[in-house]
Structure 1
Amino acid sequence: MVVSDKDALAVFIDYLSKEKRYPENTIIAYRFDLEEFARFLALEYEMTAPHLQDITTSMVRSYLANLKDEKKKRSARTINRKISSLKSFFKYHLRIGNITKTPMSGVIAPKARKRLPQFVEQQDMGQLLEHTVFPDNWKGYTDKMILTIFYHTGMRLSELVNLKESQVNQEGNNLKILGKGNKERIVPVSTELMTSLTGYMRQKRKDLEGPDTTVLLVNEKGKKLSARSVYLSVNAWLSTVTTIDKKSPHVLRHSFATHLMNNGADLNAVKELLGHASLAATQVYTHNTIEKLKDIYKKAHPRA
């Protein structure tokens, strides 16, 4: 299926959404990166409606050099993301026959400094979930459920807001999570959490008028939660127990994995629970475990 150049971005975004089933935030990032590249071509090369075949490797390199400019000073991490967006875009159009070669060949991504994932300390999560008093209303009830589910399962933000009641398996005490690329994984949960989940579903029907009974979590109007509202709730509650820089749903995912590793969980098991495609993505959590061991050694060994 060859498409016209003017439809190239729209068709690619449609592919990410319908075929790859990428989360909305990821698609927004791809669109932003590609539109920024298009604006650069228009400004620097007067290519307001460029033919894909006319875009060269030198143009791409010029764009990346512009990103490194002192005034912009984008981080290696940000530049790598933009390179990834461009590579995916041109690879897709190469595959469908819209171009015969990709201008991304020979483009090397800068080395990004490896950063250990931030996480909330185990005792701080205990304080939040066991000793914090949440408001006695539907939002307070839902906020606690959000935090509990994130920490007990390690699921992603998009996975939580789209979690359906039908994915709650009461008999098996597990959740069927639909992850990236439409891949399913089974995550076991405690009896305590399952009781909370079934109680929430029951209470939803009792307290709210005409609630959405397809999705699990809803707001006080009975509607599906937005990703933004969940993010803001998590950020606000984490701010009450931790001073780490990032206070997001993804930090709770990091906390889930790190605490499992710190307590002796098998790396492959953590990989499956997180829904990672490869073990390499999970191995970053072993570094946090090693750092914890180093800290224990320094504090406990007489010759440390």
Structure 2
Amino acid sequence: MSTKHAELIENFLERLWLKQGVSKHTSSAYGTDLRKFLSFLLEHVGEHAELLSVHSNHIEDYLLWRRQQGLSPRSTARSLSALKKFYNYAVQERLISVDPTARLRQPKQPQAIPHSLAESEVEALLAAPDCDDPVQLRDRAMLEVLYATGLRVTELVQLTFSQVSKQQELVRIIGKGNKERLVPLGETALEWLQTYENQGRPALTQMRSDYVFVTRRGGPLTRQAFWHRIKYYAQIAEIRSHLSPHTLRHAFATHLLNHGADLRVLQMLLGHSDLSTTQIYTHVARERLQQLHATHHPRA
């Protein structure tokens, strides 16, 4: 990739962060999508192809090529989203006069029902860490906070003490799109957080850091490291259910609905900008109710 293209993509990602407050993870994904599209252009259009000299048919060819390669519709939709944002930026900056993606519409994606855990499985997962070990005490506190608040994993690992109000039992989160929300922490999670802060954290590191959950070097965990920890405890707890980095977030949402939470409240707690994103959890709750009915109703 030429220096010119590298600078162009970097400038776009920086503007995206400044204007829309996208996360590092999303920014990295968009950068990857643009570089993949550029590679396609260089291979199929010619070595002199440029991002700022494409037409809508080039993008249509790229989307068709992705389908032919068997790439998932969801990742292709995200690629198109990245291209739309990039060319919208290019028009605004007067780098081009016509947006080649203007008439291209996002394909409708089937809503994937998130996998969750039964409440008994969550209890087993939370009980898996050996809290005599400061690392596992930290992990127990992280799992408790995650299940109590439904935070995204990125929000959890980046949590700082300045975001936690012990007196009000709240955490203040700046989520996607730079939007702020207040999420109740709950007594149990707060107790584990206090135990970790008093016993586990001093044994882990003496380094000063505002991050709540730290490694022995004093820095925050990565998303990937915490995901490996979750899988480790799932093995100990003998949980066979499908797991993902957001499994406890999904469990938080599903269990609240099962216990009568309002969908609008859940939307606020999860930090969803659109209620339709939250409504997917009603499918999970409905399935659970049907299972309970089939199991316990005498005429089911």
TM-score over 0.5 for the pair: yes
In 2, Cα distance between the equivalents of 1:233 and 1:290? 30
Deviation at 1:109, TM superposition (A): 3.1
Work out whether 1:285 is the aligned partner of 2:281: yes
Work out whether 1:82 is the aligned partner of 2:83: no
Deviation at 1:8, TM superposition (A): 2.2
Deviation at 1:126, TM superposition (A): 1.1
- The answer (yes or no) to whether the contact 1:212–1:218 under 8 Å persists in 2 is no
In 1, Cα distance between the equivalents of 2:192 and 2:94? 52
Q: Which residue of 1 aligns with 2:15?
A: 15
Deviation at 1:133, TM superposition (A): 4.6
Work out whether 1:194 is the aligned partner of 2:202: no
Structure 1 residues 51 and 224, CA gap change in structure 2 (3 angstroms): closer
TM-score (norm 2): 0.91
- The answer (yes or no) to whether the contact 2:130–2:137 under 8 Å persists in 1 is yes
Q: Which residue of 2 aligns with 1:64?
A: 63
**Mapping for residues 142-221 of structure 1, pairs under 5 Å:** 142-203=138-199, 206-221=202-217
Please, which runs of 5 or more residues in structure 2 have no aligned partner? Answer: none
TM-score (norm 1): 0.90
Structure 1 residues 275 and 252, CA gap change in structure 2 (3 angstroms): same
What RMSD over aligned residues (CA atoms) do the two structures have, in Å?
Answer: 2.1
The counterpart of 1:115, out of the listed 112, 115, 127, is 112
- The answer (yes or no) to whether the contact 2:117–2:241 under 8 Å persists in 1 is yes
Deviation at 1:122, TM superposition (A): 1.0
In 1, Cα distance between the equivalents of 2:276 and 2:206? 45
Structure 1 residues 172 and 61, CA gap change in structure 2 (3 angstroms): same
Structure 1 residues 236 and 177, CA gap change in structure 2 (3 angstroms): same
Q: Which residue of 2 aligns with 1:136?
A: 132
Identity %: 31
Q: Which residue of 1 aligns with 2:101?
A: 104
In 1, Cα distance between the equivalents of 2:208 and 2:20? 26
Q: Deviations over 1:231-271 (max 9, x none)?
A: 211222234342233x2331111111011011110101111
Count, aligned residues: 296
In 2, Cα distance between the equivalents of 1:103 and 1:286? 38
What residue identity is the alignment partner of 1:291? E
In 2, Cα distance between the equivalents of 1:209 and 1:289? 42
SS at match of 2:94: coil
SS at match of 2:20: coil
In 2, Cα distance between the equivalents of 1:232 and 1:193? 21
- The answer (yes or no) to whether the contact 2:150–2:249 under 8 Å persists in 1 is yes
Deviation at 1:200, TM superposition (A): 2.2
In 1, Cα distance between the equivalents of 2:72 and 2:5? 30
In 2, Cα distance between the equivalents of 1:138 and 1:102? 54
Structure 1 residues 292 and 204, CA gap change in structure 2 (3 angstroms): closer
| Greater than 6 Å deviation, 4+ residue runs | none
- The answer (yes or no) to whether the contact 1:142–1:219 under 8 Å persists in 2 is no
Deviation at 1:164, TM superposition (A): 0.6
